[in-house]
């Protein structure tokens, strides 16, 4: 078992590592971390180190926690490698947010390289427009998720408050925060800060608009 880690041009380690194991003619790769800028280079470097005689490469993606639109380039690298070397490849086991990104991009999250949505066919202009709108919404969600990662402590506090107050799951609490952010046109971290501060009883009172958005989000996501 070996591991590859990409280092950015700034000299900082990337947030993705790839463990590899080769048995016979099959290579099993296990990426861990985030599919963000530099992830395609990490995969290309790992594939380049595989020994000759490989006839199949399987990626287990269950340990990938986050993916932005550059993660689609990660799949392109794998597909190009398969075509060039004339071998079988797969990338399965997608969970959570990365799975939703693939669904929004029109790919089959169970088999994004071979499932429905991967064929390059002519599509009606109305479908093209719908896909462009979906991608716009995806970019907005990705930016919100990036903000959430940078402010994870306050996000986690807010999710904990909602989970304790409403007996909901962590995913449901996240949906409430995101919905309230969109309804009130308020940055996600500010919504989370208001929820976390309000639990202590001595924090600033949220604006009437944000209070209404939170009530609506709770009704939509938890009822």
- Residue that finishes a domain, picked among 104, 132, 163: 104
Report yes or no on 201 lying in a domain.
Answer: yes
CATH of the domain at 63: 3.30.750.24
**Structure confidence at residue 8 as a pLDDT band (50, 70, 90):** very low
Report yes or no on 114 lying in a domain.
Answer: no
pTM, to two decimals: 0.51
Asked whether the predicted pLDDT for residue 88 surpasses 90, the reply is: yes
Report yes or no on 207 lying in a domain.
Answer: yes
Contacts of 148 (CB under 8 A, 6+ apart): 155, 188, 189
**Structure confidence at residue 145 as a pLDDT band (50, 70, 90):** low
Number of domains in the chain: 2
Report yes or no on 128 lying in a domain.
Answer: no
Contact 40, 3 (CB under 8 A): no
- The token pair at 22 is 């080769």
- Residue that finishes a domain, picked among 104, 135, 169: 104
- The token pair at 181 is 């952010």
Report yes or no on 109 lying in a domain.
Answer: no
- The token pair at 95 is 């969970």
Asked whether the predicted pLDDT for residue 4 surpasses 60, the reply is: no
Report yes or no on 173 lying in a domain.
Answer: yes
Strand bridging mode 88-92 / 26-35? unpaired
Report yes or no on 141 lying in a domain.
Answer: no
**pLDDT, averaged across the chain:** 80
Contacts of 104 (CB under 8 A, 6+ apart): 134, 135, 137, 138, 141
Domain that holds residue 179: 151-222
Asked whether the predicted pLDDT for residue 12 surpasses 50, the reply is: no
Q: What is the pLDDT of residue 45?
A: 93
87 with 174, same domain: the answer is no
- The token pair at 59 is 């990626």
Report yes or no on 16 lying in a domain.
Answer: yes
């Amino acid at each position: 078992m070996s591991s590859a880690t990409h280092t950015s041009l700034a000299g900082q380690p990337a947030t993705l590592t790839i463990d590899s194991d080769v048995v016979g003619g099959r290579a099993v790769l296990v990426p861990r971390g985030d599919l963000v800028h530099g992830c395609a280079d990490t995969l290309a470097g790992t594939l380049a180190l595989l020994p000759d005689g490989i006839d199949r490469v399987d990626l287990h993606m269950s340990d990938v926690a986050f993916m932005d639109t550059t993660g689609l380039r990660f799949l392109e690298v794998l597909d190009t490698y398969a075509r060039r070397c004339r071998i079988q490849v797969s990338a399965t086991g997608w969970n959570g947010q990365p799975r939703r990104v693939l669904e929004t991009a029109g790919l089959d999250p169970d088999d994004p390289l071979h499932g429905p949505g991967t064929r390059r066919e002519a599509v009606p202009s109305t479908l093209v427009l719908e896909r462009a709108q979906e991608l716009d919404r995806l970019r907005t969600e990705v930016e919100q998720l990036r903000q959430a990662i940078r402010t994870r402590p306050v996000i986690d506090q807010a999710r904990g408050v909602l989970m304790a107050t409403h007996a909901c799951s962590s995913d449901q609490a996240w949906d409430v925060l995101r919905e309230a952010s969109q309804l009130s046109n308020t940055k996600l971290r500010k919504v989370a800060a208001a929820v976390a501060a309000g639990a202590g009883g001595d924090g600033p009172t949220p604006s009437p608009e944000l209070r209404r958005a939170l009530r609506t989000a709770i009704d939509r996501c938890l009822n």
